[in-house]
Amino acid sequence: MFAAYVTVTILASVFTGIAAVTYLIGHDYPKAQADMKRIPRSWVPRLGMVLAAGSLGLLAGFAVPLLGTLAAAGLVLYFVGALIAHLRVGSRQLVGWAVFFTTVVAALVVNLGYH
């Protein structure tokens, strides 16, 4: 179980960390997604900070297990919000969302299972 916990947690942290970097450097993709979902562009850096905090929180969970659990739960809520934003505007482009959501749910499950 320890190997699954470490592997899934690191994978989720890398995925969300890469997404956070694209949001924070001002890449065009997050801006286009914000426009498509009718979210103000001023939210893009804030959403990037939430992703970065979640990514770092997952890693910090190796030292403080409760922090990792809370970070994983927060990321699950983040991606539930992303789904709502997609569905609100009628977007059915959910493959990317599904990959991220599945990864963070798996991180939460192995975290709870291990601890």
- In tens digits, the chain (115 residues) has pLDDT values of 899 999 999 999 999 999 999 999 999 999 999 999 999 999 999 999 999 999 999 999 999 999 999 999 999 999 999 999 999 999 988 999 999 999 999 999 999 999 8
- Helix residue spans in the chain (DSSP H): 2-24, 28-36, 43-60, 65-88, 95-114
CB atoms closer than 10 angstroms to residue 41: 11
Predicted pLDDT at 115: 85
Predicted pLDDT at 114: 94
Predicted pLDDT at 66: 97
What is the token pair recorded at 89? 């505007």
CB atoms closer than 10 angstroms to residue 10: 14
Round to whole Å and give the CA distance between 17 and 39: 21
Q: Are 33 and 51 within 8 A, CB to CB?
A: no
